[in-house]
Structure 1
Amino acid sequence: MALFSENADVSVRPAVRGDEHAIARIQLNAWRVSHADVLAGALDLLDEAAIESQWLAAVTTPPGAGFRVLVACDGPTVVGVVSLAPVPAAEDRPFDAPGGVILTLEVEPSQQRSGHGSRLLAAAVDTLRQDGADQVHTWVLDGDSARAQFLASSGLGPDDVARDLASGTLPDGTARVVAEHRWSASI
């Protein structure tokens, strides 16, 4: 009788050159599923080649210390991504250790609810702690109840900070604005 585990070959690792193709595809696919109504119109304007180029730069030449891109793998296949940036103490909470921000946390829609998001979040928190961070935050678009539920179950919560983003143009020519709310936790 052979013994096996359904999750025997899942992992999180630092992204490397060549992952940018999968990362861009995952991000766009996830946004098209999660944010189709909120980002209607804006998603159609995204240039996949430009997004790949930006991910390549993020992976190979990050803008500074503390900027990282990690990927979740199912066997050899990249199925998720998390990107991190430092938040200096002066910008976040004066006199405390610096924090970190999760810029991106996406899992290929067909791979969601398989534990990849949790592994990515855990790896992100571990990485931030190794960098000396004592807190983490991220942003959630209005209406993204699945992300809010995931973050809440992971110990993050909204902290009453919000920002508005332009997400395209309405039929009358005015800018369409969507709100994001910051979620945070001590780590």
Structure 2
Amino acid sequence: MNGHHAEGAHADGAHADVSVRPAVAGDERAVARIQLAAWRSAHAATLGQEVLESFDEGAFVERWAQAVRMPPAPGYRVLVACAGPRVVGFAAVAPVPPPEEEPLAAPGGVILALEVDPPEQRAGHGSRLLAAAVDLLRGDGADQVQTWVIDGDEARDRFLAGAGMGPDGAVRDLSSGEGPGGEAFVVRERRWYASI
């Protein structure tokens, strides 16, 4: 992939080159920092500040380094959005094999993660990442894309709806450890979908 390039305006009126490119070794620190900052900004009410502050940034860096250097499966890719030389967002995609009952159906694709650094949001980086992710999945033969969204993330709901995606009715509950009182803490996610 050559990357998606565009000219974008900065708040000070100057223009900066903005792009999306495949992640390379060395991007993992920025990706981990952006993921945690975005989660802390978007999910404080849902996950709680205590849970969000307990995440180990070093562990996130290690996981992203492995994902970039040694993807866990064919078709798994990490992309980064850049403003000039700075990494300001990222996305991770993977294929979804056809269902067993339809082995000849076209595969799908899943956006595993898509985050933009909070100070850089609403500048088009998320849209460029989503377009590049869909291009990659389509290039791999996918005919649909899906992603999971934590209940209560209204900004992400609006972003995905604006991109032509919608909830397909699938729901899953994920345990995220213990809540402040020691009880199991469960997060509900809804799947969003679109044909591509």
Same structural fold, with TM-score higher than 0.5 when normalized by the shorter chain: yes
Residues 92 and 100 (structure 1 numbering): CA distance in 2 closer, same or farther, change over 3 Å?
farther
Deviations 1:25-81 (A, max 9, x none): 000000000001111132122110010000000000001211000000000000000
- Paired AA for residue 174 in structure 1: E
The 5-angstrom pairing of residues 144-155 of structure 1 reads 144-155=153-164
CA contact (8 A) 2:75 2:94 kept: yes
CA contact (8 A) 1:92 1:98 kept: no
TM-score by length of 1: 0.94
Instruction: Tell me the CA shift for residue 94 of structure 1.
Output: 5.2
RMSD: 1.6
Counterpart of 1:27 (choices 23, 35, 52) is 35
Give the whole-Å Cα distance in 2 for the aligned partners of 1:32 and 1:91: 38
Deviations 1:70-127 (A, max 9, x none): 0000000000000001100126965420001000000000000000000000000000
Give the whole-Å Cα distance in 2 for the aligned partners of 1:11 and 1:152: 23
What's the counterpart of residue 49 of structure 1? 58
Give the whole-Å Cα distance in 1 for the aligned partners of 2:41 and 2:180: 23
CA contact (8 A) 1:92 1:99 kept: no
SS for the counterpart of 1:89 is coil
SS for the counterpart of 2:44 is coil
- Paired AA for residue 85 in structure 2: P
Give the whole-Å Cα distance in 2 for the aligned partners of 1:63 and 1:159: 27
CA contact (8 A) 1:85 1:103 kept: yes
Residues 96 and 73 (structure 1 numbering): CA distance in 2 closer, same or farther, change over 3 Å?
same
Counterpart of 1:161 (choices 142, 159, 170) is 170
TM-score by length of 2: 0.89
Give the whole-Å Cα distance in 2 for the aligned partners of 1:5 and 1:171: 43
CA contact (8 A) 2:16 2:83 kept: no
Give the whole-Å Cα distance in 2 for the aligned partners of 1:128 and 1:97: 11
Q: How many residues align?
A: 184
For the pair 1:125 / 2:134, whether they are aligned, the reply is yes
What's the counterpart of residue 11 of structure 1? 19
Give the whole-Å Cα distance in 2 for the aligned partners of 1:5 and 1:88: 37
Moved more, 22-31 or 159-168: 159-168
The 5-angstrom pairing of residues 1-187 of structure 1 reads 6=9, 8-40=16-48, 41-90=50-99, 95-187=104-196
Identity of aligned residues (%): 62
Moved more, 42-51 or 105-114: 42-51
Residues 55 and 183 (structure 1 numbering): CA distance in 2 closer, same or farther, change over 3 Å?
same
CA contact (8 A) 2:149 2:189 kept: yes
- Paired AA for residue 61 in structure 2: E
